[in-house]
Structures are given as C-alpha cells and as structure tokens.
C-alpha cells in the first residue's frame, strides 16, 4: 500500500493559505496556541503614549515602534489587505491576484507579488510606511528596511490569530474601537456554534493541487474553523510534517481507518481542476471508493476565498459555510 501514499505538496502550495491566497498563497506563522487550548480572544494592544508613540508586536515576536500612526500600507496577503482596508487604512501595495477587488482604491494599488514571489523593486518604488508580510520575507527584510519601510510579520493559523491581526492593525491606525467591534462579531459567531449541541461530524481536510495532497491538522486555520463550527478532525493524531507542522502526509490506509463522514478539499487555485483530479484519484482506488463519505457524495470543495488562506474579517462567512455543511451530514 506504500504506492498509495501521496507526496508532500510543494512549498508554494502551502504558502497561502492558510494565509493567505483568497486568492494568492500566503505563508502563515505557527499559531501560538492550537485550537484545542486556545482561550477566548482578548484585546491587548500596547497603548500609545507621547513618550513611545505606537508600539506593537508582530507574529515573529518583534517589537515595532512608530512615532505616529502609519499612513500607507502594502500587503502580500488579501486577508490582511481586507482588514486594513475595512479599518480605513490606505493600501498602496496589494498582492498579485485574479480575485475580484471590492473598491476602486484597491484596484489602483500597485501589485507587489505574492508571499513566495515578492517584487522588492515595486515595494521600494511605492515606499509604504508598513509592509505586511509573512515569515518568508526574512531573506529580504534588511534590504527593505534599509529603504525606511517597516515590516510587520503576520500569521493566520487560527481564528484567534486573525483577531490578533485585527487588534494590532486597529492600534496602528488609531481605530481600536472599530477593531474591537469587528472582533466582537467574530467572537459572537464562534460563540453561537459553541452553544450548539449535537453529534460531532468526523471530517477529513485535504489540501493541495492535482497530484499533490496533504491533510490539514487541528492547528491549521481550516482545522480551527472546523473545530469552532462543531466538527471533529479525523487527522487530529496524525504525525505532523517536519517542514509544515499544520499538515500531515495523506495516507489512504489511515484515512480508511479514520472513517470520516465528510471530505473537504482545500485549494487556492483552480478548484474545479483539483476536484476533477481528486475524483480521478478516488476512482482508481478501491479503498477510496468504499469510503462512506465518498459513496454518499459527501466530498465538498471549500471556497478558495474563505479557506485557501487568511480570509480576513470574512472568517465569519467561513465558519458559517463549514457549520452549514456539517449540519447537512447529520440530517
């Protein structure tokens, strides 16, 4: 059965999401807490003072200090772009993506590449006050900062991570009240499903592109959404991949033993191609075909703009989508 193992997806496919890719792929920093132990989000911005200006910490635990609120932003993640735009920040640099944009202002912003294909030249040419990037920016960090551009390393491996980002961007923009309101909407959404009772639907989260698949673990963003929506991740005890600790190797034998009630496909590009390739893979493999979820037609493609990477404040829509699909299984 070793031939049934499917190789690790390449680094570019993992970079995303989960911030990432509404989109484009986005590198995500490991969450500080897994969904199983995360506490309810509490806003803890560092207050601005005349002596220190605005002080925040990024997801790499680096402290950034600003004399005043930054005026312009560039970001390599559509989720971070959406949050900053919603809080009233001016976006001058945006991720390269074919995804539709909600405003003329964002359309006018310069495309600066993606988390794994950064255009340093374009970033320097627009010279934003702050560049929102992922941990992968480290190799170019000194060159960018030498141009007077501050870098905030973002991450989104959990709903709490997204709320932390909203809180920090609110602090940077002097829009803490608006940020708290956005975070309350997210917390209220999570709480509404926390109170829901019923059978836990066993779900398998498959991430990848044609021919390359991995399994998302509970400490991934999609894994956290699944847990908050009331589902149970059948891969909870799968061994983490060395390079990508939010994922595990897809083992058909182990999946058959796990007996998922539903299979979700996560992709950041060309979802129909991914679905077709995955269906072909299942058709060739008797083990897949005999899986109850497959026989019942419970294979769901998750919307790329909500699950491919960080969806920003649209995380509430992602929770609703997941919860609705889980509820259909129990009916």
pLDDT exceeds cutoff 80 at 75: yes
Domains 2-17+197-330 and 54-192 fall in the same CATH topology:
yes
Output the pLDDT for position 97.
84
pLDDT digits (tens, 9 = 90+) for 81-94: 999 999 999 999 99
Residues of the chain with pLDDT > 70: what percent?
A: 81
What architecture is the 54-192 domain classified under in CATH? Answer: 3-Layer(aba) Sandwich (3.40)
Output the pLDDT for position 194.
77
Q: Contact, 31 vs 20, CB < 8 A?
A: no
Q: Contact, 246 vs 222, CB < 8 A?
A: no
pLDDT exceeds cutoff 50 at 193: yes
User: CA nearest 214: which of 173, 189, 243, 257?
Assistant: 243
How do 212-216 and 201-209 pair as beta strands? Answer: antiparallel
Query: Tokens 């259909």 label which residue?
Result: 328
- Domain residues of the chain, as ranges? 2-17+197-330, 54-192
Average pLDDT of span 156-161: 95
Give me the helices (H) in 173-302, please: 176-194, 221-228, 252-258, 271-284, 286-289, 292-295
Residues of the chain with pLDDT > 90: what percent?
A: 54
pLDDT exceeds cutoff 90 at 12: no
Better-predicted residue by pLDDT, 45 or 202: 202
Using CA atoms, how far residue 168 sits from 39, 42, 127, in Å, is 18, 12, 21
pLDDT digits (tens, 9 = 90+) for 35-44: 333 344 444 4
Better-predicted residue by pLDDT, 276 or 196: 276
Structure tokens given for 112: 């600066």
pLDDT exceeds cutoff 60 at 297: yes
User: CA nearest 75: which of 10, 20, 31?
Assistant: 20
Q: Does domain 2-17+197-330 have CATH number 3.40.50.1980?
A: yes
Average pLDDT of span 262-266: 93
Q: Running DSSP on this structure, what letter comes out for residue 3?
A: G
Q: Judge if pTM exceeds 0.75.
A: yes
Average pLDDT of span 270-284: 75
Output the pLDDT for position 197.
58
Output the pLDDT for position 261.
95
pLDDT exceeds cutoff 50 at 34: no
C-alpha span between 37 and 215 (Å, rounded): 21
Output the pLDDT for position 152.
96
Q: Contact, 190 vs 319, CB < 8 A?
A: yes
Average pLDDT of span 317-321: 97
Q: Contact, 149 vs 169, CB < 8 A?
A: no
Output the pLDDT for position 283.
74
Average pLDDT of span 137-166: 94
C-alpha span between 214 and 303 (Å, rounded): 18
**Percent of the chain that is helix, strand, coil (3-state, to 5):** 40, 20, 40
Better-predicted residue by pLDDT, 208 or 137: 137
Q: Running DSSP on this structure, what letter comes out for residue 219?
A: T
How many Cβ atoms are within 10 Å of 321's Cβ, its own excluded? 18
Average pLDDT, the chain: 82
């Amino acid at each position: 059965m070793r031939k049934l193992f499917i190789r690790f997806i390449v680094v570019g496919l993992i970079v995303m999401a989960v911030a990432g890719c509404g989109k484009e792929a986005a590198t995500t920093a490991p969450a500080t807490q897994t969904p199983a132990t995360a506490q309810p989000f509490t806003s803890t911005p560092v207050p601005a003072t005349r002596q220190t200006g605005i002080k925040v910490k990024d997801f790499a635990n680096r402290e950034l200090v600003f004399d005043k609120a930054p005026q312009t932003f560039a970001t390599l993640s559509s989720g971070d772009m959406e949050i900053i735009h919603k809080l009233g920040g001016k976006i001058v640099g945006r991720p390269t993506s074919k995804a539709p944009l909600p405003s003329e202002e964002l359309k006018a912003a310069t495309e600066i590449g993606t988390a794994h294909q950064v255009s340093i030249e374009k970033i320097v040419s627009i010279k934003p006050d702050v560049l929102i990037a992922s941990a992968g920016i480290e190799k170019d960090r000194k060159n960018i900062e030498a141009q007077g551009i501050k870098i905030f390393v973002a991450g989104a491996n959990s709903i709490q991570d997204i709320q932390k980002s909203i809180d920090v961007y609110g602090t940077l923009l002097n829009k803490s009240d608006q940020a708290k309101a956005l975070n309350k909407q997210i917390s209220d959404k999570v709480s509404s499903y926390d109170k829901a009772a019923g059978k836990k639907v066993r779900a398998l989260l498959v991430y990848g592109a044609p021919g390359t698949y991995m399994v998302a673990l509970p400490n991934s963003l999609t894994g956290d959404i699944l847990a908050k929506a009331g589902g149970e991740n059948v891969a909870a005890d799968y061994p983490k991949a060395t390079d990508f600790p939010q994922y595990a190797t897809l083992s058909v034998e182990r999946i058959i033993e796990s007996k998922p009630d539903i299979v979700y496909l996560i992709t950041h590009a060309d979802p129909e191609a991914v679905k077709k390739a995955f269906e072909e893979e299942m058709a060739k493999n008797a083990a897949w075909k005999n899986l109850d979820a497959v026989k019942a037609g419970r294979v769901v493609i998750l919307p790329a703009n909500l699950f491919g990477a960080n969806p920003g404040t649209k995380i509430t829509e992602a929770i609703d989508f997941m919860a609705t699909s889980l509820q259909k299984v129990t009916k």
